[in-house]
Amino acid sequence: MVNVCLVGCGGVGRRHLEAMIKVKQELNIEVVEPYLKNKIENNNISYFNDIKGVSDNIDICLIATKADIRKKVILDLVHSKNVKFMILEKVVFQNERDFDEIIKLLKSKNIKCWVNCHLRAQPIYKELKKQSMVEHDTYFTYDYSDDFTLSTSAIHILDLFAYLCNDYNLRIIRLKTDETLTKSKHEGCFDFNGNMEVVSTNNHKLSVQKVNRVFGEHLTIQSPSVQVKAGEGTDPDNKVGFVNDKKIPYLYQSSLTNLYIEDIINKSDCDLSTLENSAILHKMMLSTFRDLFSKKYNREVMDCPIT
Ligand SMILES: NC(=O)c1ccc[n+]([C@@H]2O[C@H](COP(=O)([O-])OP(=O)(O)OC[C@H]3O[C@@H](n4cnc5c(N)ncnc54)[C@H](O)[C@@H]3O)[C@@H](O)[C@H]2O)c1
């Protein structure tokens, strides 16, 4: 029996749990959530208020709390349980130092860890990677619609760009945002939208821009030999993916996490970025976002209030 633990069963945690019960192998699923709503009744799932109650040996642990307490949750977990593999939600931490500390700790405990920036695991972007064989000087455009928030989701786009151009050393060279920050649905966090330009060291360019559309993110790739458009359809009730004219399934989180878990069980690996690689992208993004928050608040901000 494989022991799987989910810490935080709110919005996205619930989707991870729905996926866990689809895993082909038999799992013992332990959920830690102090404010549980909508329990899924299943013989393989047990619920706990805190980490103390769960098994001492955890094969795979998924941490789906907000960013501000993620480090504390990891410290509690790693100091009291034996964990083999971990998946962390994005935004992983709100400052760069926490990455260094946690990477060092996980390494010392031999825990392999990934970050749930799921676009690279989506069939559309895997197909796109096969088709586009990105050369030098490719121009990527990522159009986002009204249902998207740049502050919290920029890391998804940076991770996708890194995946498609095989380069984690990205730089945000321009960030033009809304004048005002808005309160996020996540307490203590703030949201902004705007346009962003990013370059890779291997000379690819990405332009991220908000467009006037209700739903669906679209990525266009242009180079002398490749022109591809991919993304989600524009109907939120019937989420489909496409690459040029070809329709490709777009997987909800509730049909993705099971694939990560099966891959980890079968080959000790999965389609997501490792924490080490994701840290490179997060740190670059956090340093840019911190300057923006510091300017808006007119004081030096240490932790970016995003999740
Ligand atoms: N990868 C993605 O596509 C994706 C999608 C949605 C959300 N997220 C990320 O997931 C994180 C959570 O987002 P959400 O919308 O589910 O938030 P949420 O507030 O709905 O859920 C967080 C849950 O954590 C619980 N919690 C708080 N402290 C805890 C503790 N000590 N132990 C266990 N549980 C605890 C809360 O009670 C809450 O239910 C955020 O960082 C968010 O950005 C990622």
Q: Assign 223 a pLDDT band (cuts: 50, 70, 90).
A: confident
Q: DSSP letters along 46-113, please? A: EEESSGGGS-SEEEEEEE-S-GGGHHHHHHHHHHHSEEEEEEEPSS--SSHHHHHHHHHHHHHTT-EE
What is the SS3 assignment for 289?
Answer: helix
Q: What percent of the chain shows pLDDT beyond 70?
A: 98
In the chain, the DSSP E strands lie at 2-7, 27-32, 45-48, 57-63, 82-88, 112-115, 139-144, 170-177, 182-183, 190-191, 194-200, 205-210, 218-222, 227-232, 240-243, 246-249, 273-274
> Homologous superfamily of 123-250 in CATH?
Dihydrodipicolinate Reductase; domain 2 (3.30.360.10)
pLDDT at residue 171, rounded to an integer: 98
**Gap between the Cα atoms of 218 and 233, Å rounded:** 8
Tens digits of residue pLDDT in 4-18: 999 999 999 999 999
Average pLDDT across the chain, whole number: 94
**Gap between the Cα atoms of 171 and 161, Å rounded:** 11
Q: Which residues pair with 236 in a beta bridge?
A: none
pLDDT at residue 210, rounded to an integer: 93
Ligand 1 mean position to 66 CA, how many Å? 5
Q: Assign 132 a pLDDT band (cuts: 50, 70, 90).
A: low
Average pLDDT of span 49-63: 97
- 137 has pLDDT over 70: yes
- 133 has pLDDT over 70: no
The dotted CATH code for 2-118+257-273 is 3.40.50.720
Q: Which tokens in the block code for residue 182?
A: 């808005």
- 109 has pLDDT over 70: yes
- 145 has pLDDT over 70: yes
Ligand 1 mean position to 253 CA, how many Å? 13
Q: Is 167 left (phi over 0), alpha (psi -120 to 50) or beta?
A: beta
Ligand 1 mean position to 268 CA, how many Å? 25
Ligand 1 mean position to 8 CA, how many Å? 6
Residues with Cβ within 6 A of ligand 1? 7-13, 32-35, 64-67, 69, 73, 89-91, 116, 118, 152, 186, 307
Query: Which residue has the least CA distance to atom 26 on ligand 1?
Result: 8
Average pLDDT of span 220-235: 84
Q: Is 41 left (phi over 0), alpha (psi -120 to 50) or beta?
A: beta
pLDDT at residue 195, rounded to an integer: 96
- 134 has pLDDT over 80: no
Tens digits of residue pLDDT in 248-281: 999 999 999 999 999 999 999 999 999 999 999 9
Q: Give which of 94, 86, 88, 96 is closest to 68, Cα–Cα.
A: 94
Q: Which tokens in the block code for residue 222?
A: 């242009």
Length of the chain: 307
What is the SS3 assignment for 231?
Answer: strand
Per domain, the residue ranges of the chain are 2-118+257-273, 123-250
Q: What percent of the chain shows pLDDT beyond 90?
A: 83
Best mutation site among 12, 72, 232 for ligand 1, i.e. most ligand atoms within 8 A of its Cβ?
A: 12
Q: Looking at the CA of residue 14, tell me the nearest atom of ligand 1.
A: 16
Q: Assign 77 a pLDDT band (cuts: 50, 70, 90).
A: very high
- 92 has pLDDT over 70: yes
Ligand 1 mean position to 87 CA, how many Å? 13
Q: What's the Cα-to-Cα distance from 148 to each of 34, 73, 188, 197, rounded to whole Å? A: 28, 27, 19, 17
Q: Looking at the CA of residue 152, tell me the nearest atom of ligand 1.
A: 43
- 38 has pLDDT over 90: no
